[in-house]
Every structure is written in C-alpha cells, then in structure tokens.
Amino acid sequence: MSDLSARILGVRRNRRSPWPARWAEIATRLVAAHGVPSLGNFRDPVKEIFYILLSAKTADAQYRRTNRALHLAYPTLEALAGAKPKGVRACIESGGLAPTRARRIIALAKTLLKAGAPHPARYLRSLDAAAAFRFLTGLPGIGPKSAFCVMMYSLNRDVFPADVNVIRIAERLGALRCGLDHAKAQKTLAKTAPDGRSKELHIGLVVHGRTVCTPRNPKCGDCCLADLCAVGRRVTAKP
C-alpha cells in the first residue's frame, strides 16, 4: 500500500478500509474502459505548473488553447517573468479569470526563476517528494492539488490529486462524504489511494467524469463501475 500522499499530507493511512483494494479494482476497470490517454500534460515540471494553473475551473479545450498561446508568446521563463500583465492577459483571455491569472503567472515565473535558480526544472527534479511538495505549494497560486498534479505528471511520484471529477465520483461511489471542503477531501482520499495506481486511477476518473459520470445526468446504465457505486446501484435497481 502506497502512503506517499498520506505521508506528505500528514494523515494516517486507514489500514482497515476496503477502499485501497476497491480503488485498485476501479483503476483496472477504468483502464479497460478508457485506456490511459494523454490529457496534454508535460514532462517538464515548469511547463506543467503553468498548464495546471490555467486548467483550474476551465474547460479542457480552452486551457489547452490558452496554454499554447502563452508559450508561443513567451517561450521562456525569463520572457514570462518580464512580461506586462496586459500581454499575458491577451493570451489567456478566452480561458476566463484573465486579470488574476495574468498577475499570478508573472509572479510565478519570477518566483520560479529566483527560488529554483539556475534551472528550476532540474532543481525540482532533484528534490525528494516532501521537499518538492513544499517548494510547489510555496509558489503563488499553487495549492496541494496542483502540487500533486505536477508531482504525478512530471516528477513520476505516486501521489493522488483530488480534482473535481475525482471528488464527484468518489462521493457517488460512497468513498467520500458529500460536501467536504477540498483540503479535507484530498486528505481523506490520501488515506485510501491504492499502491502504484495513482496516475492511471486519476486519469481514469478524470476521463470517466468528463464522459460518463458527468456532473449532471450521469450515464449509470453505461457505467463500468455501476455495481461498485452507491448511486449506480440505486439507479439500476429501479423498476
């Protein structure tokens, strides 16, 4: 049983919970149903940080587009750190929250250049998991979920980020109490994340949440998890 997420977040693993085994089974089914597709993430942790920042509360196609525009206009961290907010805003406008994000992106580039000098990506790769988490969550606009995403996608760490799709499906499955705040939900899930399956489980839940277990009108009749799911069992048991 992996406990990297739990150790980093300072919570105790729930050794008696049936959920690590259930999550492993869910990961297997989701891989069979959806594969493990690329969601456009980057191997370079610095590029990934900006990608994750732009992805929050934004539709998939939008944040891919704004991220591309940003990198075309400012191909290096130095260029981004020296950018004017107006120029950055123009690149990311269509993704929403542009004024706040533009300020954050410039601050982030400046902080990365200073704290990770001379090569922020190399510096991040050199850190152990706990130090990488501390470094990432010390950056402007990067919380625990974003830090876990960067660690999972770009630093190959077996940590389990709880994004909105993950939380919604976990609630429906009965793995998570409804209405927990995000920090509590992330910690609760860290107690039961399965060994070595974090990335495929996370990607599987994101894809499943976008295509089958959608926020409204989930397609329980077509769901490969229906027999494991509190909501699915109720829906499919109806006459």
The residues binding ligand SF4 (CB under 6 A) are 169, 172-173, 212-213, 218-220, 223, 225-226, 229, 231-232
Q: How far is the CB of 74 from ligand SF4 (least distance, A)?
A: 40
DSSP character at residue 79? H
Measured from the CB atom, the residue of 13 and 29 that comes closer to ligand SF4 is: 29
Residue 38 phi, psi (nearest 5): -75, 135
DSSP character at residue 193? P
Measured from the CB atom, the residue of 52 and 169 that comes closer to ligand SF4 is: 169
- The dihedral built from the CA positions of residue 10, 25, 163 and 108, taken in this order, carries a sign that is positive
Measured from the CB atom, the residue of 144 and 194 that comes closer to ligand SF4 is: 194
Q: How far is the CB of 231 from ligand SF4 (least distance, A)?
A: 4
Q: How far is the CB of 172 from ligand SF4 (least distance, A)?
A: 4
Measured from the CB atom, the residue of 190 and 229 that comes closer to ligand SF4 is: 229
Measured from the CB atom, the residue of 98 and 231 that comes closer to ligand SF4 is: 231
* Integer Cα distance of 8 and 212 in angstroms: 31
Which of 92, 30, 39, 44 lies closest to 66 in space, CA to CA? Answer: 92
Q: How far is the CB of 223 from ligand SF4 (least distance, A)?
A: 3
Q: How far is the CB of 208 from ligand SF4 (least distance, A)?
A: 7
* Integer Cα distance of 6 and 97 in angstroms: 32
For 113, 147, 204, the CA distances from 199, given in Å and listed in that order, are 28, 14, 8
Contact of 15 with 94, CB cutoff 8 Å: no
Residue number, nearest CB to ligand SF4: 232
